[in-house]
Structure 1
Amino acid sequence: MNARILLASLAFAVVSLAFPAVAADSAQTFVDKAAVGGLFEVDSSKLAQNRAKDQQVKIFAERMVADHSAANEKLKKIASEQKLQVPAQPDAAHQSDLEKLQNTTTGFDQPYVEMQRSAHADAVNLFQSYARDGDNASLKAFAAGILPTLKTHQDMIEKIAAANAAMPAVKSASTPKPPAPVPGANSFTESQAKNRIQDAGYTDISSLAKDGQGIWRGQAKKGGKTISVALDYQGNVFAGQQ
């Protein structure tokens, strides 16, 4: 073999070893997102157990505390085995939502249900994505194992919300994507909207603002280009929307 070709091949091999391919969600990123989401589920649902008025909301909250407490412990165990760090506190966005619930003096049920619908839409997307494309076998198995429970939770909260037309809708996993953003009461916070747009493959998201139709609109980058993006109340992400 030509010496120059041999050296080039060796150099490529070294670079390949030093910079391995990165999955859509790294193990630590998945653990971070799953952990803070799980903490929010437990903490917000403990509030709902005491403050919710609707009996179905209370039953749902009890199920969330039990299921997510168990899932959180499984995640801690696996993360410890994989030498990964597990956040012990909610992040700023989830803490802000918890404080909103804590400071709600009347009508607790509606904001709790809205937050649960958004949170479970995010959780199903996160666990589904990692179960398919994750970079750690143990965590992929964990994500795949928890996913059916999350989908059951999502169905439960959708049925609760359907009983109250005042609660804004969030797309379930089986809802087909429409051709354009759907106007409607949007329960996503700015932070949640940004996360969902990022999960759709966009970066450098800026100028996010909710318009009069309940649609989050802003700018983002994808494929090296800056484009307009939109997120509707169902969680659908669209590009090139003004």
Structure 2
Amino acid sequence: MNKWIVSSACAALLLAPLAFAQSVGEKTGVNSTLGISPTTQDFVTEAANSDILELAAAKLAEGKGNADEKKFAEQMTTDHTKTSKDLKELVDSGDVKATIPVKLDSSGQKKLDELSDAKPQDFAGYYDPMQVSAHKDAVSLFERYAKSGDNPKLKDWAGKTLPALQHHLEMAQNLNKNRD
């Protein structure tokens, strides 16, 4: 009997971290590497943070960027304003049970601070690769949720939004390539 209790306790301790694996994994990028779908809350948090960062970075690009970056930033403002609105509507309607962050997470804030501190002549060196990286992450996030997310309406929205994000990634890669 005692062995059974000890074994059960050990199993519970070993399995407990798995219940939190997606949240931790999403923060460290492990889920992306493994192709694991984020939880609904993680997806909403990551998508909202992505939108907040894109909108703030676009505002900086409109002031510091070259003509191509300004055009790209205009598209990001239009598209990410729409995705922010769509996500908020899904949550506000009650179809998605999650909390939308109202400010940028510390990782995104650090990127935005670096971008903000960049001199206009150095701006492209920060902005262009950041856009490639941010959109690779967004495409991965939306692909994984669209494939195996647990909320049908959010899963559908992620799938419908994915082509625009893939297009953004192509645009960002061209922007970065033209800089070299």
The interval holding the TM-score normalised by the smaller chain is 0.7 to 0.9
Q: 1:98 aligns with which of 95, 108, 112?
A: 112
Query: Can you list the C-alpha shifts for 1:151-206, whole angstroms capped at 9, x where unaligned?
Result: 111111111222222xxxxxxxxxxxxxxxxxxxxxxxxxxxxxxxxxxxxxxxxx
TM-score, structure 1 as length reference:
0.57
CA shift for structure 1 position 83: 3.2
Match of residue 101 from structure 2: 87
Structure 2 CA distance, aligned partners of 1:96 and 1:41?
Answer: 13
- The structure number with the bigger radius of gyration is 1
Once superposed, which parts of structure 1, at least 4 consecutive aligned residues long, lie more than 4 Å away? none
Match of residue 147 from structure 1: 162
1:128 to 2:143 alignment: yes
TM-score, structure 2 as length reference:
0.76
CA shift for structure 1 position 24: 3.0
Which letter does structure 2 place at the counterpart of 1:126? L
The answer to whether the 8 A contact 2:39-2:150 is kept is yes
Structure 1 CA distance, aligned partners of 2:139 and 2:164?
Answer: 9
Local SS of the residue matching 2:97: coil
Return the structure number with greater strand share.
1
CA shift for structure 1 position 146: 0.7
Which letter does structure 2 place at the counterpart of 1:31? V
Structure 1 CA distance, aligned partners of 2:134 and 2:150?
Answer: 23
The answer to whether the 8 A contact 2:124-2:179 is kept is no
Identity %: 34
1:58 to 2:60 alignment: no
1:112 to 2:131 alignment: no
Structure 2 CA distance, aligned partners of 1:164 and 1:97?
Answer: 19
1:74 to 2:86 alignment: yes
The answer to whether the 8 A contact 2:61-2:69 is kept is yes
Aligned length: 144
Query: Can you list the C-alpha shifts for 1:94-139, whole angstroms capped at 9, x where unaligned?
Result: 0001111111124112201111010000000000010001000011
Local SS of the residue matching 2:179: coil
CA shift for structure 1 position 50: 1.1
Q: Which has the higher contact order (CA 8 A, sep 6+)?
A: 2
Local SS of the residue matching 2:122: coil
Local SS of the residue matching 1:60: helix
The answer to whether the 8 A contact 2:64-2:123 is kept is yes
Which letter does structure 1 place at the counterpart of 2:151? N
Which letter does structure 2 place at the counterpart of 1:96? K
1:47 to 2:47 alignment: no
Local SS of the residue matching 1:86: coil
Return the structure number with greater helix share.
2
Give the unaligned 5+ runs of structure 1: 1-18, 166-242
What RMSD, in angstroms, separates the aligned Cα atoms of the two structures?
1.5
Give the unaligned 5+ runs of structure 2: 1-18, 23-35
